[in-house]
Chain A
């Protein structure tokens, strides 16, 4: 039997029995003795001066131990919340952000005071008694309006509202446009989205005054970075702070960056000398958990009449909200990926980050890549429509085909086979048959549309060089540790963390195969900074497998090599004469001479070691990938639009994706299901809306912010091609964000295709029935 038996198998998720029987360990499940509860008083205004805070009535309310404001927290916390360079090294205006507002609050929901009480209900009641006197200030809500000279300022002492303004030049854009026979322009909206994880945020901090140690339980994708930030702000050595994140009920990017409460809860615990907990309510989650997207693009594409793409010029106006998100500038990667899977002579992309009086935006599943894909795929369809070419043909004509492929901005796509995934998707969806049905339907006045999205993604962050610049010093690599315990089970530690992706299963498959162990003998640990290697780099940007999985694999190989040497010593053979199969070292040609790796592990803790070998069987490895990884694929969506109501019915959805070698097909399919659903959610349903006059959020509950359910998501037909990545030994890429990156464009392209007989070229998201009905009305009048 081959050694590789678990990698590639549909192993059932090990975490599920625990999670689906209600035995998950979330922040709210933890109840230390003496626990206090924090409630946050938030500004109800988009922009206001804080004149006075009267704590009196709240402080006197039953069960209240403290009412704390900026003044109190300044004694506990130093510095401001971090902002990384990400893709925009030079920023123009970065307003300082302290975790709690002092004299000025700049968005609805910004913390102004906190109440700590003996019970959550009493804390919430007392929070209503804190009297804050505000002087409302003019607010700026719309990012394009915020750019206008002389408009209101998001921060009273700001020079203007421009957080950054930078242009990426990818080739001679003037020359590309000079050759153009066709030009199309479009304005494309990326509405704000609320990440809405099933488990809202939560922080529990326990500061122990006697030994000056701090433990924080946090629902986080990124425990080690949070430890770095919070220990710095609290003035504690990093080694004295422990961040623990057990089960995380979804993150989608919203649990990467630090939040105000991540600082306020530990500080409150230090002030009171007792454990303090804050659990986000759903209302707070929609209002204050960093939003995603929030961008307006204007784009112009240039092409030849034969379908050859020439140039793409675009501007991204990115609504930063009231402060820069810690990784907010990551979203500028929409610019760098705007060329998609195609060969362009030149691309010029300008990104402008704009401050407004709204909650900050930050990475949300795909972060910049869905926006770049959406823009590219929409523009390519616009060109196809303009010259009357089938969108599949136009794509084929321009696909990158030689790998490694260097895109206009110098990024190197590791491997790809864009024809392969497109051809398979066209076949699965029965493309030509749908085109015929579309033709027939049109004769009856019915609106059927077919939308394509051929996508590529940059993910798997590392490598160390470019990512060090992006984080401001710390290279994104990954660390793992493998420990063989004397009795032969394995503890594996990794610096990534899971929020539903199933790492406990897939990563254990890798370790088990590498060590020839049964899955049950491998214990995967992550999310606790007190365990494993000194640093971990978290889970986001579809990096965990390609970087963290590789680090685990490397560490397991080191352990296996040491075990081989020890086995050779025990068997009195040369290491080269040993074969390792199914967890057993055997001497070539002597079937009686063998040792299982478990026997070797026990020996590693015993007296009989070769000269020079240290005791134990464990290793720490870091993996620094030589490049990013570049998954890709083709999604095709078929819709019918109800001409009378504007309602969109999803008829068919086919996705053929390629994430290189697959560790566990079931997990890959699960990631795609969720990811595609999230892209459909953006295309058709979800939108955070603010009233343009008052600046107040209009979609504060889940009755108004429309997260779709399984009823709204069609059956998905999935298939894959396999083009291994040459950048890592496992040949793997990422798949966590792929579905979201690809799907909004497929859906919107299908809708636009359906509406094209009416002369409608573009529909913004969410393509709600009301919006489509209005477009049809306008087109017909």
Chain B
């Protein structure tokens, strides 16, 4: 619970953060809300030599609706998303998800950019980004969500690249995110999101594999007129969950199916 020694500096701008990352070398890391990084440092699972603090980058803290898109700055905290009327109006599913991330402390510190960059298998926003075809905007390029999340804790970000924004399509149709967990503040053992959009249902599954998964088979079953129960039978297609102390792999598969059915039934 006592981190190893590390250096610390503040970034004054996006360009400065990128420059500092480049000059401080491979063992340096950005720190945003610290809600994933600090626990790992306290367990000495992460021992970065240098932290570059991006909390001062106010320019990355925004929620802007624009041309049928909802642009969310990387430094937007969970709590800000929960409170935002704009989010509720343009992408209410994001509000719903944000309100159930961690506990109040986590929500007031953690950022959407941090969740994306960290790419935890149980992170909730990656599921939304994937199912909605969101785009991750960095200091240098635009990366479609499906190309961004590569594996557990692994994204297509370059070592010195900064997530600046998440660009979501607006969606106001029926939606639901169901998160199965033991305690209210826990990560999802399995989560399922559904959103009715212009081209039909979008369905995504959290923590049934190393990265979030878009449930294409469920979506197409629904497009061909399947009811929620029938469609949910396809939820496990292509999933490869692992077993851990929280759930066996079989149980996770079963939950994916049950939650998909229920999310579709409950979507409003």
Which of A335-343, A702-710, A752-760 lies at the interface?
A702-710
Interface membership of B146, Cβ < 8 A: no
* Given known contacts A121-B5, A281-B1, A283-B1, A709 and B254 CB-to-CB distance under 8 angstroms: no
Q: Which stretch from B73-81, B82-90, B243-251 is at the chain A interface?
A: B243-251
Could you tell me if A711 and B251 are in contact, using CB atoms closer than 8 angstroms?
no
Instruction: Say if the beta carbon of A699 comes within 8 Å of chain B.
Output: yes
Residue-wise, chain B 234-257 has the 8 Å CB interface mask toward A (1 for contact) of: 000000000001111001001100
Decide yes or no: A773 and B184 within 8 Å by CB, A125-B5, A281-B1, A283-B43 being known contacts: no
The answer to whether A281 and B183 touch (CB under 8 A), given A689-B245, A699-B245, is no
By beta carbon, the residue of chain B nearest A282 is B1
A703 near B182 with CB under 8 A, answer: no
Checking B1, B183, B246 against A709 with a beta-carbon cut-off of 8 angstroms, the contacting residue is B183
B2 in the interface (beta carbon within 8 A): yes
The 8 Å CB contact of B245, one of A282, A644, A647, A704, is: A704
1/0 per position for A674-691, CB-CB distance to B under 8 A? 000000000001000100
Chain B residues within an 8 Å CB radius of A124: 2
Closest to A712 in B: B183
Residue from B183, B187, B248 in contact with A711 in the complex, judged by beta carbons closer than 8 Å: B183
Inside 8 A of B184's CB, which chain A residues have their CB? Answer: 709, 711-712
Query: Is A773 touching B254 in the complex (CB atoms < 8 A)?
Result: yes
B258 cross-chain contacts in A, Cβ below 8 A? 644-645
A120 B2 Cβ-Cβ under 8 A: yes
Alpha-carbon distance between A774 and B258 when the two chains are bound, in angstroms: 15
Q: Is the CB of B248 within 8 A of A125?
A: no
A768 on interface, CB distance cutoff 8 Å? yes
Number of interface residues of B (CB under 8 A): 21
Which residues of chain B have C-beta atoms less than 8 A from A260's C-beta? none
CA distance A120 to B187 in the complex (A): 31
State which residues 154-212 of B face A: CB under 8 Å.
Answer: 180, 182-187
CB <8 Å contact, B183 and A645: no
Check: A388 CB closer than 8 A to any chain B CB. no
B182→A125 contact, CB < 8 A: no
Considering only CB atoms, which chain A residue lies closest to B248 in the complex? A770
Cα A391 to Cα B4 with chains together (Å): 57
Q: Are B2 and A706 in contact (CB under 8 A)?
A: no
Task: Looking at the assembled complex, report how far the CB atom of B261 sits from the nearest CB atom of chain A, in whole angstroms.
Answer: 9
Residues in B with CB closer than 8 Å to A709 are: 183-185
Partner pick for A770 among B1, B187, B251, CB 8 A cutoff: B251
Contacts of A121 in B (CB 8 A): 2, 5
Return the contact of A698 from the options B1, B43, B44, B245 (Cβ within 8 A): B245
A770-B247 CB under 8 A given contacts A645-B258, A701-B43, A703-B186: yes
Closest to B1 in A: A281
A283-B43, A704-B245 as given contacts; A685 in contact with B5, CB under 8 Å? no
Check A711/B1 contact, CB under 8 A, given A645-B258, A699-B245. Answer: no
Smallest CB separation, B211 vs chain A (Å): 20
A369 to B38, CA, bound (A): 40
Is A645 a contact of B43 with CB atoms below 8 Å? no
Set of chain B residues within 8 Å of A704, measured between Cβ atoms: 245-246
Instruction: Return the chain B residue nearest A643 by Cβ.
Output: B258
A residues 114-141 near B (Cβ < 8 Å) are 120-121, 124-125, 128
- List the B side residues contacting A281 at CB < 8 Å: 1-2
Q: Inside 8 A of B5's CB, which chain A residues have their CB?
A: 121, 125
Interfacial chain A residues near B248, Cβ < 8 Å: 770, 774
Report yes or no: A706 in contact with B251, Cβ–Cβ below 8 A: no
A700, closest chain B residue (CB): B43
**With a CB–CB cut-off of 8 A, which chain A residues contact B183?**
685, 706, 708-709, 711-712
Q: Please indicate the chain A residues that have their CB under 8 angstroms from the CB of B251 in the complex.
A: 769-770, 773-774
CB distance from B242 to the nearest CB of A (A): 14
A742-779 CB contacts (< 8 Å) to partner B: 768-770, 773-774
Q: How far is the CA of A704 from the CA of B181 in the complex (A)?
A: 12
Residue of B nearest to A704 (CB): B245
In the complex, A393 Cα to B182 Cα: how many Å? 35
How long is the Cα–Cα vector from A773 to B251 in the complex, in angstroms? 8
List chain B residues, Cβ under 8 A from A644: 258
For window 279-294 of chain A, which residues contact chain B by CB distance below 8 Å? 281-284
Q: Give the nearest-CB partner of A707 in chain B.
A: B183
The docked-state distance in angstroms from the alpha carbon of A689 to that of B187 is 19
Q: How far is the CA of A781 from the CA of B186 in the complex (A)?
A: 32
State in angstroms the CA–CA spacing of A706 and B180 once bound together: 15
Report chain B residues within 8 Å CB of A703.
Answer: 186-187
| CB of B39, distance to nearest CB on chain A (Å) | 8
A412 and B115 CA atoms in complex are apart in Å by: 60
The CA of A283 and the CA of B2, in the complex, are separated in Å by: 10
Whole-angstrom distance between the Cβ of A766 and the nearest chain B Cβ: 9
User: Besides the contacts A125-B5, A704-B245, A773-B254, what 14 more A-B pairs have beta carbons closer than 8 Å?
Assistant: A121-B5, A125-B4, A282-B1, A283-B1, A284-B1, A645-B258, A698-B245, A701-B43, A706-B183, A709-B185, A711-B185, A769-B180, A770-B248, A774-B251
Q: Which 3 A-B pairs have the closest CB atoms?
A: A281-B1, A711-B184, A124-B2
Interface residues of A (CB under 8 A from B): 120-121, 124-125, 128, 281-284, 644-645, 647, 685, 689, 698-699, 701, 703-704, 706, 708-709, 711-712, 768-770, 773-774
A-B pairs with beta carbons under 8 Å apart, 27 shown? A125-B5, A128-B44, A281-B2, A283-B1, A283-B43, A284-B1, A644-B258, A645-B180, A645-B255, A645-B258, A647-B180, A685-B182, A685-B183, A689-B245, A699-B245, A703-B187, A704-B246, A706-B186, A709-B183, A709-B185, A768-B182, A769-B182, A769-B251, A770-B248, A770-B251, A773-B254, A774-B248
